Amino acid sequence: MPRALFTAAVLLGTSLSLAAPALAKTAYDGVWLFDEAPPTPGVTMMQVTSKGGKIEGTVTTQWYGPVEMLNPRVEDGALKFDTRNINDREHPTRPWSVAIEGGKAHLKGRIWESEVDASGYRGNTKDARARAFKFSPPLPALGAPIPSKLAATPPMGWSSWNKFAEHIDDKTVRAMADAMVSTGLRDAGYLYVNIDDGWQGKRGADGVLQPNEKFPDMKALTDYVHSRGLKIGIYSSQGPRTCAGYEGSYGHVMQDAQTYADWGFDYLKYDLCSGEWFYDEAATVKRSYYEMGAALQATGRDFIFSLCEYGRFDVGSWGRDVGGQLWRTTGDITDDYPTMAKIGFDKNGKPEWAGPHGFNDPDMLEIGNGGMSADEYRTHMTLWAMSAAPLMMGHDLRESTPETLAMLTNPRVIAVDQDAKGVQAKALRKHGTMEVWAKPLADGRVALALFNRGDAASSLALVPGDAGLTAVTQVQDVWSGTKSAKLPASYTVPARGAVMVVVGD
């Protein structure tokens, strides 16, 4: 369905089906209703019309709204068509088919990661009107950049997603807040306790989103977390559905921002999932984030605004203007070295966009989740600190081992990450499997990291020139704290390991 037709339908306040002639021309013509299709993408209806031998149609979904049938045709006793498949570069479209069996329409297809195999029955134009996707009003135009006094240094905290995914509840969030305090993580600088996807319930008749039964009282929860000297975050998407299939903020942006403020939240992660079908170019994606950034600002409450759109459209170049203090630069991290290394070394965002009040976000930490060796986790933490990346822990804090706590709370490592200059390190040089990275610090010294990306130990010298100096008279090993007056002849770095020093002249 051409975009102009969608828009016209919205403007006229009518359902798409009303625009089409009622006369059925093929066995597939008409309105088909689906009550039990898989929740993702949540097919609710199919509409087919044919006129002069030309077939048109849509499959209405809860995730993406009406999905247009591309090249619909009757072939081999079935209606065949393709749909757009936005997130998948290898398969920009996907084939679908409809077979009429026993008076029912059997719809089969795939979109993004979801298979559809569902049976629909005949409905009428009244049903079509009732099930028509409700488009939200056009996005507001961009206004003045939204100023922020928050996040002078990269935000630090914990998020539920990496460990708990959707299996998160009030009790666990409280337990994490308690553990942040009892383990010393709060005092080391970790401040935010963030609920990721999976807290959402249904909207009331007034449109206000309620939490699901796992979160009986959001205000009581935020009060509790605040009482522990911490701040608390929440999660949504600008699409109709979040990435895990929960209710998104589509059509309710102002209202949701106000709800988060009323509940007492301090941080919002806003994830493009399902929104990419509505906002699929730089201008609309930016405006969709601006819409929420402005809505948060209008509440009068301070929010950290975390943009999660996987680095599309050079997000760092406009993330601050929409009110963001951090913006994801990649797809999701997983708890294994190859993924962590791919993200941390190669997809951590353009350093030129990072600085006080705005940081590239290569995703949350996996330290403590058990999928990497101690050396690999040390590389993870070193890379994130050198990159001035947000430090959002992602493990069960109650199960932190002494080694995990020591790694996450090392004050010198945190000081590199949190340095007031806010510079994101760059790779200066590469030798075989070794990489040298440098990060100038606010006090004039320079943090240098030596990474070994290979599978065997390797040695390399650091030289004053790596720090832009002619001579080095003070060297501190960041991980151990050991000080010396000169750089050693060379460093031996274990396989997939890292060394980090701060040097000065």
For position 366 contacting ligand GLA by CB under 6 A, the verdict is no
Write out the binding residues for ligand GLA, residues 234-273 only, by CB under 6 A. 242-244, 271, 273
| Phi, psi torsion values for 295, nearest 5 degrees | -65, -40
Q: How far is the CB of 166 from ligand GLA (least distance, A)?
A: 7
**Contacts of residue 399, Cβ cutoff 8 Å, sequence gap at least 6:** 368
| Phi, psi torsion values for 111, nearest 5 degrees | -140, 125
Q: Positive or negative CA dihedral for 362, 388, 157, 475?
A: positive
For position 181 contacting ligand GLA by CB under 6 A, the verdict is no
Q: How far is the CB of 179 from ligand GLA (least distance, A)?
A: 21
Can you tell me the distance from the alpha carbon of 295 to that of 293, in angstroms, rounded to the nearest whole number? 5
Q: How far is the CB of 271 from ligand GLA (least distance, A)?
A: 5
Whichever of 178 and 332 has its CB closer to ligand GLA, that residue is 332
Torsion of CA 285, 290, 292, 293, to 10 degrees: 140
Write out the binding residues for ligand GLA, residues 109-168 only, by CB under 6 A. 161
**Quick one: how far is CA 19 from the chain centroid?**
37
Going across the sheet that includes 114-123, the strands are 65-68, 54-61, 43-51, 30-33, 114-123, 104-111, 93-101, 78-84, 70-75
For position 332 contacting ligand GLA by CB under 6 A, the verdict is yes
**Quick one: how far is CA 58 from the chain centroid?**
29
Which residue among 197, 256, 291, 376 contacts ligand GLA (CB under 6 A)? 197
197, 256, 271, 321: the catalytic one is 271
280, 332, 375, 477: the catalytic one is 332
Can you tell me the distance from the alpha carbon of 330 to that of 180, in angstroms, rounded to the nearest whole number? 27
Residues 303-322: x where in contact with ligand GLA by CB under 6 A, - otherwise, as a string? -----x--------------
Q: How far is the CB of 132 from ligand GLA (least distance, A)?
A: 27
For position 341 contacting ligand GLA by CB under 6 A, the verdict is no
Q: By CB under 6 A, how many residues form the interface with ligand GLA? A: 10
Q: How far is the CB of 307 from ligand GLA (least distance, A)?
A: 11
For position 86 contacting ligand GLA by CB under 6 A, the verdict is no
Whichever of 114 and 409 has its CB closer to ligand GLA, that residue is 114
> How many residues in total does the chain contain?
505
Whichever of 332 and 477 has its CB closer to ligand GLA, that residue is 332
β pairing state of 93-101 and 78-84: antiparallel
Which residue among 196, 256, 276, 435 contacts ligand GLA (CB under 6 A)? 196
Q: How far is the CB of 24 from ligand GLA (least distance, A)?
A: 41
- 332 a catalytic residue: yes
Whichever of 244 and 441 has its CB closer to ligand GLA, that residue is 244
At residue 186, what is the residue type? R
Range 390-400 burial, b when 16+ CB lie within 10 A, else e: bbbbbbbbeeb
- Active-site residue set: 271, 332
Binding site for ligand GLA (CB under 6 A): 161, 196-197, 242-244, 271, 273, 308, 332
